[in-house]
A and B are shown apart, each in its own frame.
Chain A
Amino acid sequence: MLWAALRFPDLSLQLHLRGGASCGPMVVQEASHRPRVLSCNEAAQKAGIKPGMLVSAAHAVTPQLHIRTRDPAREATALTGIATWVTQFTPTVSLASPNEILIEISGCLRLFGGLRPLSGRLRAGLAELGYRASVVLAPNPTAALLLARDGIDTSIGDRHELRRTLARLRLTRLDQPAQTVAMLAHLGVHTIGDWLSLPRDGLARRFGQGMLDEIDRALGLLPDPRPPFSAPARYSASLELPAPVRETEPLLFAAKRLVLELTGHLAMRQIGVMRLKLELGHAHHAATPVVLGLSAPSRDAGHLVTLLREKLCTVQLPEAVETLTLVAGETRPLGSHNQTLFADGRPSREARWRIIEHLRARLGVEAVHGLETFPDHRPERAFRKTLPGHARDTSSDLHRPLWLLARPAKLRPDESLPGTQRPMRLMEGPERVESGWWDDFDVKRDYFVARDGAGTKVWLFRERPDGQDWFVHGIFA
């Protein structure tokens, strides 16, 4: 077994910062009467603010300070989001509140090419989500947690090394009452090494079995079961921007964080998303929704962000955006890609749909369509618009023009097509079309093929039985 502990030391701050590329000095305060600074970003540190300072003092140092109040519920939501994303690496995930996640990775090491590539991908992925984490690898979850709390970014493989490293760890890191730890400190027992050198039965009598068990679990002497984390069935997450923005690129920057989280969730479930909704929250107006509909399921973050960019470019914002909420709608099963052994240069099935979605995102869903024939004698009803790529392949042997005019253009008998003077010459016809008395579109026409004065072949008709007007309905082009 090999466990990784992901610890987010200043999660309360990071969840406010991750929505923007840079931000002025920001602190998170505790919710109390005389609040103190819990954590602060680099800009605030440069200005001389330190954790533990009174917020009023910090505000005096930098008047343009952004102050946020700590919200444990939002931290828990953020942690769930990260855990959801992590499930794409391994199915064994466990939350250790308030700001730690444990994952078992011995089963997936081979898939990701070993320890170093895997921890590299984890770190890079977390950075892309906008979180800073320390990652500690140890043979059991308790040891991984304790070492992560100590701030050591390390990776421990064998039992003897674990014992040596844990022996240096201070007892204050344990999940034990402060009173017990203080009492031990008075006795001169500061580290786990000191504890281990004392007789076990006496320690159990004085300090209870609980502490003995925790240290035994860390050493791998006792089993260490953890409650499994199960990701929510539907993905929905929101993010607060560090400062209100209207521009597309900063919005996309923040949206990308959420899209990456979503793709982790989709990868774990082996599904792709068909509909996606991004809600842009404002201070005084109702949220502006941005809805993406895809032709084929996808979980490619780059592709989804490209589509969102096109949509965001066209959307009208009533005022600056303060929060983003991403909700995954309909999903479909989507297997992972099998790499071909011999590259055949053909685009994958999913890649074929990208261009369609890209065009639809900007031009509108209705504007991009396919065409198919429909068995009806009336020319206007002999074709149908379809979803792109869903048309049936049919063949036909009717002599029909390549272009059909959306509505037939009326011609005077002596007139020709615009731009020419000489009259029409009828070449073929009539072809009688009589159909549709049963619905509201009754057609009784005689169709002719003609050439106009300049030689363009056109498709004409005259209403039966006694219509005098000629209409151009198509161009053979």
Chain B
Amino acid sequence: MPSALHSLLQNPAIWRGNEQARVALPSIPTGFSELDRELPGGGWPRGVISELLAERSGIGELSLLIPALAQLSQQDGWLMLIAPPWIPYAPALAARGIRLSRVIVANTVSDKDTLWAAEQSLRAGNCSAMLAWPAAFNEHGLRRLQFAAEEGGSFGVVFGETSRAALSSPAPLRLRLGMRQDKLSVKILKRRGSGVMPTLWLDTDKPHGAMLQHTAKILNHGGHGGKAGKADLSISMGVA
């Protein structure tokens, strides 16, 4: 009886596990449409701390954020990179569409300084993104960051180890990142709006939104730089 079942499911009192509340949260599109669909507000949330727990450093946790950072760099605010594990490589950032004049790197000597700098940046309200790589942090430190993010309405990301996944956290969005068959796996550990938490498989080399933007730029320029231009065009054809 599909029609009877269908009409039963129309009852507003029934909530299905794979649905999540669609809420109008201020957010920034991630550049990955699969991920946008699963995040409440349809993107990285502003005004809260997001916790990204990676199995190992360097598996693609920064690539996941690059399309959003490229968008944010078009605005006035700073992109703060606090205590990054290695040197953020300027030519690569520029190649991915990030305006370097917005990027600020702050190196610290202790986690105390890292968390302090993160808190100040979130609270200041003129940083469009704050990314911090503390070596270790606790719930109390994260709660302070969460308050600061709420106050400044900023987009803040704290990177941590997957061992933290079992611990409780005040961060409203928590993702666990892993790598299987050369693809980045994104497991949503916690989000606003609840529902069943899916695992996504993303190809961080080909963010959807960012690539289209990049292609448009090349088309406008009328095919510069021979080989590179052609390669980008062929990808865009594939998507279209």
| A residues with CB within 8 A of B | 346-347, 351-352, 354-356, 358-359, 362-363, 367-373, 379, 382-385, 388-406, 419, 451, 454-458, 474-477
User: Within the assembled complex, what's the spacing in Å between the Cα atoms of A402 and B120?
Assistant: 25
Query: In whole Å, how far is A91's beta carbon from the nearest beta carbon of chain B?
Result: 35
Are A475 and B100 in contact (CB-based, < 8 A)? no
User: Within the assembled complex, what's the spacing in Å between the Cα atoms of A379 and B96?
Assistant: 17
A-B pairs under 8 A by CB, number: 165
Q: Give the B interface residue count (CB, 8 A).
A: 53
Interface string of B73-102 (1 = CB under 8 A from A): 000111010001111111111111101111
Are B58 and A393 in contact (CB-based, < 8 A)? no
Task: Report, nearest first, the 8 A-B pairs whose CB atoms are least far apart.
Answer: A383-B90, A475-B58, A355-B124, A403-B86, A400-B92, A371-B90, A404-B89, A347-B126
Are A369 and B104 in contact (CB-based, < 8 A)? yes
Give the interface centre of B57, B90, B101 by most chain A CB atoms within 10 Å. Answer: B90
User: Within the assembled complex, what's the spacing in Å between the Cα atoms of A35 and B208?
Assistant: 86
User: Within the assembled complex, what's the spacing in Å between the Cα atoms of A368 and B107?
Assistant: 6
Contact A347 to B117, CB < 8 A, known contacts A370-B103, A382-B91:
no
User: Within the assembled complex, what's the spacing in Å between the Cα atoms of A166 and B62?
Assistant: 78
Residues from chain A with a CB closer than 8 A to the CB of B103 are: 370-371, 391
Are B59 and A355 in contact (CB-based, < 8 A)? no
Selected contact of B87 from candidates A356, A389, A392, A406, CB within 8 Å: A406
Contact A373 to B117, CB < 8 A, known contacts A354-B124, A391-B103:
no
Residues from chain A with a CB closer than 8 A to the CB of B151 are: none
User: Within the assembled complex, what's the spacing in Å between the Cα atoms of A477 and B62?
Assistant: 6
* Other 13 A-B pairs with CB < 8 A, given A352-B76, A383-B89, A455-B180: A347-B126, A355-B120, A355-B127, A363-B108, A367-B107, A369-B105, A371-B93, A372-B101, A373-B94, A401-B92, A402-B63, A404-B87, A475-B58
Q: Check if B2 is an interface residue, CB within 8 A of chain A.
A: no
Query: In whole Å, how far is A20's beta carbon from the nearest beta carbon of chain B?
Result: 29
12 contacts between A and B (CB under 8 A): A362-B116, A367-B108, A368-B104, A370-B101, A391-B100, A395-B97, A396-B91, A397-B228, A402-B92, A403-B84, A403-B88, A456-B179
Residues from chain B with a CB closer than 8 A to the CB of A400 are: 89, 91-92, 95
User: Within the assembled complex, what's the spacing in Å between the Cα atoms of A379 and B87?
Assistant: 12
Residues from chain A with a CB closer than 8 A to the CB of B121 are: 355, 359
Q: Check if B53 is an interface residue, CB within 8 A of chain A.
A: no
Residues from chain B with a CB closer than 8 A to the CB of A388 are: 104
Nearest chain-B residue to A390 (Cβ)? B101
User: Within the assembled complex, what's the spacing in Å between the Cα atoms of A355 and B94?
Assistant: 23
Residues from chain B with a CB closer than 8 A to the CB of A358 are: 120, 124
Are A347 and B89 in contact (CB-based, < 8 A)? no
Residues from chain A with a CB closer than 8 A to the CB of B238 are: none
User: Within the assembled complex, what's the spacing in Å between the Cα atoms of A394 and B99?
Assistant: 7
Q: Check if B61 is an interface residue, CB within 8 A of chain A.
A: yes
User: Within the assembled complex, what's the spacing in Å between the Cα atoms of A248 and B210?
Assistant: 49
User: Within the assembled complex, what's the spacing in Å between the Cα atoms of A6 and B236?
Assistant: 74
Are A474 and B89 in contact (CB-based, < 8 A)? yes
User: Within the assembled complex, what's the spacing in Å between the Cα atoms of A7 and B8?
Assistant: 85
Residues from chain A with a CB closer than 8 A to the CB of B62 are: 402-403, 477
Query: In whole Å, how far is A364's beta carbon from the nearest beta carbon of chain B?
Result: 9
Are A383 and B78 in contact (CB-based, < 8 A)? no
Q: Check if B173 is an interface residue, CB within 8 A of chain A.
A: no
Are B126 and A355 in contact (CB-based, < 8 A)? yes
Q: Check if B206 is an interface residue, CB within 8 A of chain A.
A: no
Are A359 and B89 in contact (CB-based, < 8 A)? no
User: Within the assembled complex, what's the spacing in Å between the Cα atoms of A176 and B78?
Assistant: 65
Are A455 and B59 in contact (CB-based, < 8 A)? yes
Selected contact of B100 from candidates A359, A372, A451, CB within 8 Å: A372
Are A351 and B126 in contact (CB-based, < 8 A)? yes
Residues from chain A with a CB closer than 8 A to the CB of B34 are: none
Q: Check if B219 is an interface residue, CB within 8 A of chain A.
A: no
User: Within the assembled complex, what's the spacing in Å between the Cα atoms of A221 and B84?
Assistant: 75
Selected contact of A455 from candidates B88, B126, B182, CB within 8 Å: B182
Are B100 and A371 in contact (CB-based, < 8 A)? yes
Selected contact of A454 from candidates B88, B102, B179, CB within 8 Å: B179
Query: In whole Å, how far is B195's beta carbon from the nearest beta carbon of chain A?
Result: 29
Are A368 and B101 in contact (CB-based, < 8 A)? no
Query: In whole Å, how far is B104's beta carbon from the nearest beta carbon of chain A?
Result: 5
User: Within the assembled complex, what's the spacing in Å between the Cα atoms of A208 and B44?
Assistant: 86
Are A403 and B89 in contact (CB-based, < 8 A)? yes
User: Within the assembled complex, what's the spacing in Å between the Cα atoms of A405 and B110?
Assistant: 20
Are A389 and B117 in contact (CB-based, < 8 A)? no
User: Within the assembled complex, what's the spacing in Å between the Cα atoms of A4 and B234?
Assistant: 78
User: Within the assembled complex, what's the spacing in Å between the Cα atoms of A393 and B100?
Assistant: 5
Are A455 and B92 in contact (CB-based, < 8 A)? no
Contact A363 to B106, CB < 8 A, known contacts A397-B228, A404-B89, A456-B179:
yes
